Amino acid sequence: MAASVIETCHVACSANRAPNVVSWGRGGLIAFGSCNSVCLYDPQVIVGLLNGHTGRVNAVRWVHRTENAPECHLVSGGSDSRLILWEAHEMKKVWCCLQFIQSVECKGHTAAVCAVDAVYTEDSKVLVASSASDSTVRLWLCSDDKDVPVLACGGDDCKVHLYAQANGQLQKVMTLQGHEDWVRGVEWTSAGAELLLASCSQDSLIRVWRLCAKSGTDTHAEDDHTIIKMKEDVFEVKDRGLTSVFAASLETVLAGHENWVYGVHWHPPVYKGGELQQPLCLLSASMDKTMIIWAPEEASGVWVEQVRVGEVGGNTLGFYGCQMSPDGAMIVAHAFQGALHLCVIAVRIQGEWRPGVVVSGHFDVVQDLSWDPEGEFILTVGSDQTTRLFTPWKKQNNKEITWHEISRPQIHGYDMQCLAMVGRFQFVSGADEKVLRVFQAPRNFVENFATISGASKEKLLTTSDAASLPEGASTPALGLSNKAVFQGGLVPKNNKEEEQFNSISDQYQESYFHPLILTEPPPEDHLLQNTLWPEVQKLYGHGFEMFCLASDSTRTLVASACKASKAEHAAVLLWSTTTWRQLQRLQYHTLTVTQMAFSPDAQLLLAVSRDRTWSLWRRNPPTSESSEPRFSLQAHTGKDTAVHSRIIWSCDWSPDSKYFVTSSRDKKVIVWGPWRPESSGGSEIKPCSSVLDVGDSATAVAFCPVLCSDDSHLLAVGLDCGRILLFRWTPGQDVAAGGDWLFVFLDPESSHRQSHTLAVKRLRWRPRAGRAGVGNNESSWVQLASASADHSVKIFSLNKHHLQ
């Protein structure tokens, strides 16, 4: 299949909660671990995923080459106790994600791998060092450019241990003492004929050590008391009959951080005047939410703080690690909650740094997602207790379109579980609580969305009833509800007398919102504080935690269901979106309703359940007594008529509202129908397709709203293993022999790289043809969004005319 048939146009993800999980290569590519995958980031968009680990990736490191050329090897270690060496398959396209393959897998550790590093030996082999939670450091010699014989290890004994290569073995030669708490990071660099080692610790300090070779005359010079210099510790290394003497001394102690220092990183070597030189510049990152660039003064040689960047305010923890771009013009840190923080040096103003645009995503399981009715953005919810909004960013004077998170409408205190759009800028969400919450977009978001997406601001404000919209929202310090902030609440206090605190409540203001005028996607600190949506309604009625939601195409009804172990709690509740009043209670199932779907014509509601059955509800014609919609049970399966033998996970409708599909843990996918308005009774709704066995638990299924060129239906099926399968189904075509299903062939290697690594939780097609941000005239393209337990959201673009 041609490469243009299916494209991964966006991957939303975050870095794992580990100190050594981000590495910036000399070719400009950032590699970081996200759940079980290694992401390759350019850093504008995710350009590839390396799937091979079966546990969380805890450490990633590029294998740097001495000539400062782009790397061709990458090492990763994970909670699966394994190390993987990734190799560039073709050097001509080294940064293409398709070119990195799993070269060597190293097994030996008995617990999670925590840190890795690697160098090239003299005989062009890769020497890898790894440390793990099994309290061991292991060396691996992997077959395939210069020998660095010293290994530094920092541990919970507050010491830095040095190991040197002697007679083919690494032997402990010295212990560097000085830190007063756990050593969290170490990194080497060369300074002429000497080595510099930076170590950082939970004592909030950074120590820089100097390691140099000693000649015979140097060793006697130590007795000269007329020379003032730092104390040196001397050690010998015997290798191949030769004895070499080295000295280690403390170069400087850097004090500037106010919390644990988790990461240090030296400025990469740069070419000046045709020679490769090492700038004496050190980057550090700390739990105090700051990054600092340190360098010695030219006149005195004293190491001082040159640049400090970071976050101010918020309730998040600090940084886990840091990296610097090859030219030193960009620095990046990854935070406790997985966010990447990119700072770029300003071109016009010398020494000034500004926030850069980065990729972002959930840092826990993504449970649900939904497109907006126009198909221009998606909303996602996850177990990280957040709701996030992603949309294409149209750069000015640039045809390139990239997806980014531009709003975080809800930051909750419970794990999010489900959501449903009930308008262009309104949604309902459910979490591990008994309450449903309704959110409305504020004016500030609508204006910024128009700027970033290229839409008409006036048109959007007209359709959003701009006169009544609040400016933004904020959350009280101990609350869960986003409160609206109106224009009057944003007036600053100018009078000095008014600035005096009149009460305790004045000292601790609840509103942290400040309106933003965005021309590009916002950084993490703005997403946390200034992009919330106000909560406009709470819906009470369920007895247990929410599990699934659905809304109809007219955006007038919402159906909700909660976790249930008894029939009395398994009822589906219907809500009016105009009055937000409960309209009806639909009782049939005996266990949790796992998913619901309204038919595209809004006349039918389908529910599937843990009890292995489905139920179909029909909207009754309006009566003179009540104009509110009422539903009645039209069809269902029972224990004796059920085709599925395990829990039914997912369901969806065909675009013509005639057929619906169900997928189950029993690995079966079945299409039911056709539905005829004049039909009644459960006997009329039967399987109209052959039973499709997908080989694994089918956790998600979705009908494409656009038919294929031969009028067949395109379906996507998500599996528990993370794979997404595409099928074409033709009604009534050779059902008995299974000829109605046609598997859409995809390149196996490409499919593996594009798939998720854990269960697919939800699949949603864009509600109309075309690609978001490009225009709706591309009738040959459709888009599919997927949410997964591997913490990622992916958006695929498919050319349906070329599917085979």
Q: What is the pLDDT of residues 580-597, one digit of tens each?
A: 999 999 999 999 999 999
pLDDT, tens digit, for every residue of 327-339? 999 999 999 999 9
CA distance 752 to 743: 16
Cα-Cα end-to-end distance for the chain: 8
pLDDT tens string 234-268: 888 887 778 888 899 999 999 999 999 999 999 99
d(CA 332, CA 322): 6
Q: CA–CA separation, 750 vs 39, rounded Å?
A: 15
Strand 546-551 relative to strand 416-423, pairing? unpaired
DSSP assignment of 324-385 equals: E-TTSSEEEEEETTS-EEEEEE-SSSTT-EEE-------SS-EEEEEE-TTSS-EEEEETTS
Edge-to-edge strands of the sheet including 401-411? 366-371, 378-382, 386-394, 401-411
Contacts for 774 with CB less than 8 Å, ≥ 6 apart: 392, 401, 781
* pLDDT surpassing 60 at residue 219: no
Neighbour-count burial for 651-664, b at 16+ CB within 10 Å, e otherwise: bbbbbbbebbbbbb
* Range among 157-166, 718-727, 777-786 with highest mean pLDDT value: 718-727
Residue 447 φ/ψ, nearest 5 degrees:
-65, -45
Give the pLDDT confidence score for residue 508 in this predicted structure: 46
Q: Is the pLDDT of residue 96 over 50?
A: no
Instruction: Choose between 156 and 753: higher pLDDT.
Output: 156
What tens digit of pLDDT does each residue of 54-66 get? 999 999 999 998 8
Chain mean position to CA 742: 33
- Of 354, 365, 318, the C-alpha closest to 339 is 318
Mean pLDDT of the chain: 87
Mean pLDDT over residues 543-559, rounded? Answer: 96
Q: What's the burial of 457, exposed, middle or buried (CB within 10 Å: 0-12/13-18/19+)?
A: middle
Q: Which residues contact 242 (CB under 8 A, 6 or more apart)?
A: none
Q: What is the value of pTM for the model shown? A: 0.91
Strand partners, 518: none
Please, which pLDDT band fits residue 704 given cuts at 50, 70 and 90? Answer: very high
- Model confidence pLDDT, tens digit, residues 373-387: 999 999 999 999 999
Give 261-309 as a DSSP string. Answer: EEEEEEPPPEEETTEEE----EEEEETTSEEEEEEE-TTT--EEEEEEE
Q: How confident is the model at residue 773 (pLDDT cuts 50, 70, 90)?
A: confident
Give pLDDT, residue 113: 96
Q: 225: pLDDT confidence band, cut at 50, 70 and 90? A: low
Amino acid identity of 606?
Answer: L
Helix runs in 409-536, H state only: 443-453, 457-463, 496-499, 504-507, 524-530
Predicted confidence (pLDDT) at residue 507 exceeds the cutoff of 50? no
pLDDT, position 747: 53
Q: pLDDT at position 459, please?
A: 80
Interval 99-124 mean pLDDT:
88
Phi/psi of residue 93, nearest 5 degrees: -130, 55
Query: Collapsing DSSP states into helix, strand and coil, what is residue 167?
Result: coil
Please determine, for residue 312, whether its predicted confidence score (pLDDT) is greater than 80: no
pLDDT one-digit tens code per residue, 268-304: 999 888 888 999 999 999 999 999 999 999 888 899 9
Percentage with pLDDT > 70 across the chain: 88
The DSSP output letter for 687 is: B
> pLDDT at position 339, please?
93
More confident position, 467 or 666: 666
Length of the chain: 804
Range scoring the smallest mean pLDDT among 227-236, 244-253, 508-517, 675-684 = 675-684
